[in-house]
Each structure stands twice: as structure tokens, then as C-alpha cells.
Structure 1
Amino acid sequence: MFEDQSCLISRHLTSSCEQESKWVYMTYHLIEISNGKQHEESEEHDRGGDSVKRRKCPLVSDHQGSDEQYSDTTSLIHPIGRDISINCLLRCSRSDYGAIASLNRGFHSLIRGGELYKLRRQNKIVEHWIYFSCNVLEWETYDPYRGRWMTLPRMPHNECFMCSDKESLAVGTELLVFGKEVTSHIVLRYSILTNSWSPGVKMNSPRCLFGSASLGEKAILAGGTDAQGTILNSAELYNSETQTWETLPNMNKPRKMCSGVFMDEKFYVIGGMASNMEVLTCGEEYDLDKGVWKIIPNMSSGLNGASGAPPLVAVVNNELYAANYAEMVVRKYDKQNKSWITLGSLPERPVSMNGWGLAFRACGKQLIVIGGPRAAGGGMIELNSWTPKDGPPEWNMIGSKHCGSFVYNCAVMGC
């Protein structure tokens, strides 16, 4: 029954079948309550404001109720108490959190305050949503668990920011977009807790054209160029919970237009350029525990060129994959031999301009290719997925939408 609602249940976290059945039932009932509340509120609006009395449900504590039975918002689902209530909510899809947050102050505080997402992360309950921009200042998100599209609020208008190179990064419950004003770099921050954009915290050394990746609530950015165009070898760590930047040790080589990934609990910078003409084939590995960088020879050999996009790389199950946009093939990195193995073809329809306009991302245990065929009048964006296993890639289209077919920025948020 609960699986039909496309909600996530992590069975290994329960203490007994009986306890799990209680959580499943309560959570399913809670979602129906929240959906029912929204439906009734809509009915009241449709009737021109006439009062419609809403039946109280004994499962939910209501801060608006005059009866003492419903006045306790700390227990959330009243008969089972706060702890089991939270265990119910952890197993809900975050698609339902907006509706559940509207029930009362207790639910609203738990979800909009971010506490529930911290607990999900601690219990390793993660849903990966794909965020991308095919039109300047506009962002879409796709929930692959429910096949649902959503449009984010439009970014604040800024003429210079619109025309500048932009990078994006999803970390914790935030989507960060980096760009430039006339003489400086700026950061815009979208929060899923408030569904709104706000100014983000500037880096210690502002930059663009850098490599980056996130792991939970933390992210690392490395390389890039400063406002004067100087190529950097510096790196920084961002903590989304404290919204602070920490300067890390410098890399061995300055590089721009590079890519970043986390793999085997280490951060890797791959490829890039040391100058406008010098393409780097080496990568660098950063050990977070030791705080040192190590050069990895030939880590990006053949993955990019002087006029092409940064290497299109992604990590699934601690294995590194790359989309070679020149040959339209997928490759896998052989860690032992430090070489690339060709697995098969990329999806046929998505096209790019030397790698620009095409996104290649990890989404949980899947590799995702996001792009579309060139077409007049805006075109179509398509999402193709493949779960890596033995044999050549077998791509499945999981979503499509009419919008621009050129992907400017893309990030995957797991929370």
C-alpha cells in the first residue's frame, strides 16, 4: 500500500515488523490528512470564503484547537508521540513535505527549520533530485522517484549576472549559483526550506570556472579564475549548515575549467587548463583527513580540449565515469591501471557544442545524461538514465519537457 504512494521506506532502520507497520500506517494516514486539508482549503476558497468546518483527526495535534487533546504540537502525531512521529516523516518522500508542513506549527518547524533533513542524512535516507537551467535565471527540478517536474521561483534579475559565466552546486538543502557582477563575483542561494532565493555567502577567494563537488552538507571548490582572470590553485570548503567558508591548502597546479568529484571519501579535481592554451591531463586528489594534495597522472587524458567544456565526469558507487562528448561514448576509470575503458555509447538524441549544453551527472545509483536535440522554437529537454552494471550502457528516457534544449547549469541535490 505504502509503496504505491512512491514514498521511501528504509527497512533496515526499523526494530520490528510490528513497529514498521505502525510507522507505515501512520505516515500514509498523515499524508492523506495533509492532502485532505489542502483540498478542503481549496473548497473554501472556491465557495467565496464561506466557512467550511474541517473535521479534526485524532492523529494530528492542532495548535489552533481549543480542546486540550489537540493543543500539544510537540508530539506531532498525537497518539504515538514525537519520536515515532519523526520516524514516520523520515520515511516520507520529500515531495510530501510541503503539504505536511502546512498541518500545524509543529510540523512546519520540523520541516522548514531543516531538522528533518539533518535526521535523514544521519540515517542515510536520501532522495536525489535533479536541478537544471535551460533559460537564463530560470531553474527546473525533476523528482525521478515520482516523475514529477517543478519550477523554482525565478532568480533575482541582474543584467551583469545574466551575461556572465555561471557555475552551480547543490549542497545540503541549498542550490548555489556563482556568477559575476561588473567587478566582483557573487553567489545566489536557493533554499528548499523556504523555496526562495537570497544572497549567498561569498568565498574567501571569489572565483569562477572552478571544479566542485558536494558530500552531504559540505562541498569543496578548487581552482578557477579570480576577477582579474588569474588562474588559481587555491581551494575552499563550504559548510551549508553554518554557511561558512574554510580555506584549504593549495593544489599543486593552478587550473581553470576543471571538474570535481568525491570518490572513496576523497575529493578529486580532474583536468582543466593551466593557461588559455595548455590542457592539463593530470588530476589531483585531496585527502580530507591529512589535508594534502597528490597529483594523479593522466586522469583526464582525452576527456577535454582547449575549446571544449570541462570534463563531464560523475561517480556512482565509488566508480568514476566520463562522457566523452567528442566521440559520444561513456568511459570508466580503471583505478588500478589509471586508465580509461570505453563502455559504450551515450544517448543518441542529446547533442552539444564541444561538450557545452550537455549535463552528465550521478543521481543516486544512476548516471543521468541531460540534453536535447537542436530544434527551432525552444526545443525539448530529455533526461536519460542508466544504472551501471556489466555490459554496455542501456539508456532509458525517464523524463522530457518542452523548454530550451541547451543546459546552462545542472546540479543534483541529495537530501
Structure 2
Amino acid sequence: MLEGRSCLIPRPPLSSSGDQESTCFYMRYGIIKEGSEEEEEDEEKIDDRGKRRKSQDLVIASSSREIQIEQTPHERNDYSSVEDLIAPIGRDISINCLLSCSRSDYGSIASLNRSFRSLIRSGEIYKLRRRMGIAEHWVYFSCNVLEWEAYDPYRQRWIALPRMPPNECFMCSDKESLAVGTELLVFGKEVTSHIVLRYSMLTNSWSPGKEMNSPRCLFGSASLGEKAIVAGGTDARGNILSSAELYNSELQTWETLPSMNRPRKMCSGVFMDGKYYVIGGMASSTEVLTCGEEYDPIRGVWRLIANMSSGLKCASGAPPLVAVVNNKLYAADYASKEVREYDKVNNSWITLGRLPERHVSVNGWGVAFRACGERLMVIGGPRGLGGGMIELNSWIPDKNPPLWIMIASKHSGSFVYNCAVMSC
């Protein structure tokens, strides 16, 4: 059961491997359409099991007490009301109990009846979790073209997502990804236009996503709850942009924001202290930017920060590898293979220690550096094994030098093309 705020989920110690989870099993009932034959058959099986049992004890743990409920087959049929969910305790208490469950369990909970399935698929449960500050952080990444996987560090499970719909622009060109709310957005560039694909965790399926007001690629982005900001990048003609947009995943809308002070592409974005930061990037094919910019959502203005990303990017390198944990900004310096912390007061970087030695990158390409709740994670292929393996190393920042622990590994592509963390 979940208790308290974000990430406070009792779990066994993290291990170096996880069991492969079939998507059909893990989210089976989340992808069945209402009224389908398979759905009716599943409900009949549930009813049959109920008839064979004279009673069944259902123990529901709440934050203050445990409630013991006696179920009879007749009562069981009455629980299909969307208003009741668990009739004896009412809808509100039922939902409060579900909020304390891990989202790893929601696929099984959705199999109980139509009411639970409708609640899970509507996304209402995740909106309430967000208001209460409850979140679990899953890592989504792609090491093979059109294929995505997720790793649940709380249950130590690998989840295979449905294969992306085939499209040439995702086969041959650069892609960006962004996890926001319960969605994973993947952006690609065609010859003269852009394309967006949207994966919904609620339905476990891909569909066309909402296009930006000013479509772009090679931009910086970050999300906070159900909202995300993208800034900079290039348009279909290759022009470098200074514009920015806000995405609302609940409404699936894009809102144009004020433009940055400097056009930039191949930059990175993070949220910190309630503000959005764009770090580094390129002003042209040869000019590396060392400045960053801060956007205040309340005032709606950008502030230029000189030398914010000095030394974090080279002309041929990947965008700065940055992540925020507990409102502290960290960077993976792929040139020196060091992890650094940003000093907000002095606008400088402090070297903390080494990155995992086993991971290999090409000027920062092929490896991911992400915040996953209270942890920093480095995701990439190990050095010297000839590919075909992906490893996840994590470290909880403290006052000591980094001590990286490999929490999971599996056979896969060893080059990380895209990576995002979904927190909900």
C-alpha cells in the first residue's frame, strides 16, 4: 500500500534483474473495449468463481484501520454500480483505498468489474493521486526502432509496450520523447513536416498525438504533473527557434508561451523550484551556447542565465545530460565521465564523483541520465560486452560521493535512442 507522499511505497530491496512482464497480462483488462465478447467472458468467469464460494473475505487497508467485509454472491452482483464500487463502504472510501494501492496493481483491480475498469481507464484515479502528492516513477526507453519498454523499480518488472505504428520518419531521423501525465509522446520529423505519436498508459495503445502550434524537433522539454513545456528546436525548414509551448495532457492542448531570449536547438529542459529551465544548446551548426534560461510560469517571463551550462556540451555532442532530484540540478559530464551538482547561488558546477564506469556513450549519445523519484539513474549499454545488453544504475544523492548500484539489466539493444520517466 502507498503511504504519504511521492515514492513512499514499501518494496523489497532492488535487485539486478527483473521478470519480463507480458503486456497482455500486465494491462490485460485496461485494453479490452466495453461490451466486447472477451469482457463478457471474463465477467462470467468471475461470477462462476463467486457462485462456487459461499463467501469471500475482502480486506481493505485504509490509512487509519482495516475493514473486514463479508461478500455473498448476491452482493457481488450488486457491486457493478459505478457509484458504489465497494457498496458497503461507498464510492469515496473505495477510491481512497485504491489511491493507497500501487499503480502496478491497477491492471488487476480493473479486472474486478466494469465499475473498477471504468474508474481506472478514465484516469480519475491518477488525477486524485496527483492532488495528494502520490506518484510512482517508471522509466520508459527505446533501444530498438519502433520498440519501447518500461521498467517499474518498485515491483522490479519489465513491461513491453505495444510496438509503435510503422512510419518511415521514426526509422531514419531524430526523435524526441516526453512523458507527461499518463502519456508518452514521441515526436518525429518527416521530409517537410512533423509527426506526433501518443502512447496512453490507460489504454495501453498508440494513437496520433496533438500537433504543436509550431511543430519542431531537437527541442528541450520537461514535464510537471499533467503539464509540460517544450522550447527551442528547429522547424521543418531547419530554422532554429526561440519559441516555447505548454502542453496540457488532460485537455490535449498546446498553448503558445512567450519566446526565449535566444534561439537554440539541441538543448535540455528541466523543472526546478516550480520554474522551467532550458540549458545549453546550439545557436547554429557550430556555435555552442553556454547560457541557460529560466521561465517563471506565474509572471510569464524568461530570464537569461549566463554560463549555466559551461562545459556540459560540445559541438558534436548530445544535449546536456541533466536531471533534477529534490529541486537540485545534476549533470552527467560525458567528456570527463563525472557527475556534477549545480550551485544555484554561485551559478557554478561542483564535481561529486564518477559516473558508472561500465556505461559507454559516443559524445553523450546512446546513454540516458534521468531523475526517477529520489534517485538519479544512468541507463545504457555496458562497455566491452559487444552490445545486446542494457543496464540501469541508480544512486540516491547524499553528502557522499556517488555510489552507483545496478538495479536491473536485460538483453536488449545497448544504445538508448530515447528515454523518459512517467510519474503518476
TM-score (norm 2): 0.84
Residues 139-194 of structure 1 show CA distances to partners (whole Å, capped at 9, x for unaligned) of 01000111111000000001232111000000000000000123210100000000
CA contact (8 A) 1:210 1:259 kept: yes
Q: Name the aligned partner's letter for residue 9 of structure 1.
A: E
Q: CA-to-partner distance for each residue in 1:71-96, whole Å, 9 max, x for gaps?
A: 53421122211111111100111011
Q: What residue number does 2:194 align with?
A: 185
Task: Please identify, of 73-82 and 375-384, the stretch whose mean Cα deviation from structure 2 is larger.
Answer: 375-384
Match in the other structure for 1:236: 245
AA paired with 1:174? E
Shift in alpha-carbon separation, 1:71–1:165, aligned structure 2, 3 A = closer
* Contact 2:145 2:170 (8 Å CA) reproduced: no
1:367 aligns with 2:368: no
Residue 4 of structure 2 is aligned with which of 10, 28, 51? 10
1:66 shift after superposition: 8.8
Q: Distance in 2 between matches of 1:71 and 1:376?
A: 53
C-alpha deviation, 1:374, in angstroms: 4.7
User: Residue in 2 aligned with 1:407?
Assistant: 416
- The correspondence for 2:316, drawn from 307, 326, 338, is 307
Identical-residue share of aligned pairs (%): 75
- CA displacement, residues 36-93 of structure 1 (integer Å, 9 cap, x when unaligned): x99xxx9xx9xxx9x954347475999x969874453421122211111111100111
- How much does 1:288 deviate? 0.4
Residue 331 of structure 2 is aligned with which of 322, 332, 339? Answer: 322
Q: Partner of 2:100 in structure 1? A: 91
Structure 1 residue 208 corresponds to structure 2 residue 208: no
CA distance in 2, matches of 1:70, 1:305: 61
Give the secondary-structure state (helix, strand or coil) at the position aligned to 1:161: helix
Could you tell me which of 273, 282, 288 is aligned with 1:273? 282
The correspondence for 2:206, drawn from 197, 204, 211, is: 197
Give the conservation status (yes or no) of the 8 Å contact 1:225–1:231.
yes
The counterpart of 2:235, out of the listed 214, 226, 233, is 226
1:121 and 2:130 correspond:
yes
Asked whether the equivalents of residues 325 and 355 of structure 1 are also in contact (C-alpha less than 8 Å), the reply is: yes
* C-alpha distance in structure 2 between counterparts of 1:390 and 1:271, whole Å: 27
CA contact 1:61–1:72 (8 Å) conserved in 2: no
Structure-2 separation of matches of 1:399 and 1:66: 44
Letter matched to residue 154 of structure 1: R
Matches within 5 A, 1:147-158: 147-158=156-167
**Residues 219 and 67 of structure 1: is their aligned pair in 2 closer, same or farther, counting only changes over 3 Å?**
closer
> 1 CA distance for matches of 2:351 and 2:92?
49
The amino acid of 1:230's aligned partner reads N
Q: Which amino acid aligns with 2:89?
A: I
Q: Secondary structure at the match of 1:405?
A: coil
**Partners in 1 of 2:57 and 2:237 — Cα distance?**
63
Supply the distance in 1 between the matched residues of 2:420 and 2:396 (Cα, whole angstroms).
Answer: 18
CA–CA distance in structure 1, aligned partners of residues 343 and 79 of structure 2: 59
In structure 1, the gaps of 5 or more residues are 1-6, 13-33
Structure 1 residue 106: Cα displacement: 1.1
Instruction: Find the aligned partners of 1:406 and 1:316 in 2 and give their Cα distance.
Output: 25
RCO higher in structure (CA 8 A, sep ≥6): 2
Contact persistence 1:328–1:346 (CA under 8 A): yes
Other-structure match for 1:136: 145
Q: Identify the residue that residue 256 of structure 1 maps to in structure 2.
A: 265
Task: Indicate the residue corresponding to 1:290 in structure 2.
Answer: 299
Partner of residue 354, structure 2: 345
Task: Give the aligned residue type for 1:203.
Answer: M
Match of 1:87, SS state, is helix
Q: Separation in 1 of the partners of 2:106 and 2:205? A: 16
Partners of 1:179 and 1:258 lie apart in 2 by 17
Q: Could you say if the C-alpha distance between residues 102 and 252 of structure 1 is closer, same or farther in structure 2, counting changes exceeding 3 Å? A: same
Mark the CA change 1:53 to 1:68 in structure 2 (over 3 Å): closer, same or farther. Answer: closer
Q: Tell me what 1:103 maps to.
A: 112
Structure 1-normalised TM-score? 0.86
Q: Residues 71 and 198 from structure 1, CA distance in 2 versus in 1: closer, same or farther, beyond 3 angstroms?
A: closer
**C-alpha contact 2:235 2:241 (8 A) present in aligned 1:** yes
Shift in CA distance, 61/204, structure 1 to aligned 2, threshold 3 Å:
farther
Q: Distance in 2 between matches of 1:76 and 1:394?
A: 46
Q: In 2, distance between residues paired with 1:129 and 1:156? A: 22
Q: Which moved more, 1:367-376 or 1:200-209?
A: 367-376
CA distances 1:91-140 after superposition (whole Å, capped 9, x unpaired): 11101101111111110111100000000000111000000000010001
Q: CA, structure 1 residues 338+158, in 2 after alignment: closer, same or farther (shift >3 Å)?
A: same
**Post-superposition offset of 1:376:** 6.7
Gaps of 5+ in 2: 7-24, 30-37, 59-68
CA distance in 2, matches of 1:71, 1:371: 46
Determine the C-alpha separation between the residues in 2 that align with 1:342 and 1:356.
21
**Conserved 8 A contact 2:80-2:114:** no
In 1, the alpha carbon distance for the partners of 2:103 and 2:400 equals 34
In the alignment, structure 1 residue 172 sits paired with structure 2 residue 166: no
- The residue identity in structure 2 corresponding to 1:236 is E
Q: How far, CA to CA, are the matches of 1:72 and 1:291 in structure 2?
A: 45
Instruction: Answer whether contact 1:61 1:69 (CA < 8 A) is retained.
Output: no
The CA distance in 1 between the partners of 2:386 and 2:403, in whole Å, is 30
CA contact (8 A) 1:282 1:299 kept: yes
- Aligned residue for 2:405? 396
Q: Distance in 1 between matches of 2:271 and 2:79?
A: 47
How far apart are the structure 2 equivalents of 1:113 and 1:349? 42
Give the Cα–Cα distance (whole angstroms) in 2 for the partners of residues 190 and 67 of structure 1: 34
